[in-house]
Homo-oligomer: A and B are copies of this chain.
Amino acid sequence: MDRRPIGIFDSGLGGLTAVRELTALLPGEDVIYFGDTSRVPYGSRSRDTIIQYARQDVAFLRSFDLKAILIACNTVSSTAMEVLEAENSIPMIGVVAPSVQAAVQSSRNGVIGLIGTQATIRTGIYIRRIKALRPDAEIVDVACPLFVPLAENGRVEPGDIVVETVAREYLAPIKQAGADTLVLGCTHYPLLQRVIANEMGPQVTLVNSGAEGARAVRRRLMERDALNDPGHVGVCRYYVSDSVGSFVNLASVFLGHDVTGEVARVDITRY
């Protein structure tokens, strides 16, 4: 048993989709969440900048005594995971490896679609990892830079011609290739799940990378016998680098409940 909390971070709000999954899977775990809302988005930035920001995010989380850190951000997981693992002794779980595993398990025809930020797609890590498990796989990857601003502005409903048109354009090459599995390679994208599912059709399995990350955390903690006291009711604390007010409003969209009073601000540049 390990009573220490789990740290989770993301460039902003997307990682909350992983928090939601984790607290459903492991309601007894305490969570410390950090969202870098003063520097979001990461997905359009350079490798150097993403690594620099991710180091500070981890340094802040490590100011708490944690038992593991979930990198609930595909941009960081694909760009900075190796650097972060080399620099930190604490168990780190990214969202790429579990999403790759889920995609390979799900795909029957070996044609797998991947959507993500520009930074995630640029690394090519999903292609390398999927091919390592299934060398004959065909992977069609598309950067979707407008999905995050659309999601953060609440344009997530089927019937909205703006998000539907953007989704149709981004997803066209993946549909055309006949993918039977699509990795939502950004923790924001589950907010667009209904629009994406409508566009892809019911025969395509969507892999939710935040949910896969949460399941990977559960596996890792169970292996190490590091779950919390089963009688404990888990508590989440949220930290953000920009104002608390605007986070509280948007977080309710991601989490499905109000987080007023559970959020504090931190100067991330100090870490």
Chain B contacts for A269, CB-based, 8 A: 269
Complex Cα distance, B269 from A161, in Å, reads 40
Query: Among the listed B44, B48, B152, B243, which residue makes an inter-chain contact with A46, where contact means beta carbons less than 8 Å apart?
Result: B243
Q: Mark A42-62, 1 if CB is under 8 A from B, else 0.
A: 001110110000000000000
Assuming A46-B243, A48-B243, A242-B45, is B146 touching A150 (CB within 8 A)?
yes
On chain A, the number of residues with a Cβ less than 8 Å from chain B's Cβ atoms is: 25
Identical copies of this chain, number? 2
A105 at interface, CB cutoff 8 A: no
Chain B contacts for A162, CB-based, 8 A: 162, 165-166
Chain B contacts for A44, CB-based, 8 A: 152, 246
Complex Cα distance, B49 from A246, in Å, reads 13
Chain B contacts for A165, CB-based, 8 A: 161-162, 165
Complex Cα distance, B70 from A39, in Å, reads 24
A38 at interface, CB cutoff 8 A: yes
Report the minimal beta-carbon distance from A115 to chain B, rounded to whole angstroms.
Answer: 15
Chain B contacts for A49, CB-based, 8 A: 38, 241-243
Determine whether the beta carbon of A153 is less than 8 Å from that of B145. Answer: yes
Chain B contacts for A152, CB-based, 8 A: 44
A91 at interface, CB cutoff 8 A: no
* Residue on B nearest A148 in the bound complex, by CB: B149
Complex Cα distance, B246 from A246, in Å, reads 29
Chain B contacts for A242, CB-based, 8 A: 45-46, 49
* Residue on B nearest A241 in the bound complex, by CB: B49
Count chain B CB atoms within 10 A of each CB in A37, A45, A246, A269 and give the residue with the most: A45
Complex Cα distance, B45 from A37, in Å, reads 8
Within 8 A of B (CB), among A200-240: none
Complex Cα distance, B49 from A245, in Å, reads 13
Complex Cα distance, B39 from A45, in Å, reads 9
Count chain B CB atoms within 10 A of each CB in A37, A49, A241 and give the residue with the most: A49
* Residue on B nearest A40 in the bound complex, by CB: B44
Within 8 A of B (CB), among A147-187: 149-150, 152-153, 155, 161-162, 165-166
Complex Cα distance, B252 from A257, in Å, reads 44
4 additional A-B pairs beyond A146-B155, A162-B166, beta carbons within 8 Å, are A161-B161, A161-B165, A162-B165, A269-B269
Sort A-B residue pairs by CB-CB distance and give the 6 closest, nearest first.
A46-B243, A149-B149, A38-B49, A49-B242, A162-B165, A46-B242
Q: List 11 A-B contacts (CB under 8 A).
A: A38-B39, A44-B152, A44-B246, A46-B242, A46-B243, A48-B243, A49-B241, A145-B153, A146-B149, A146-B155, A165-B165
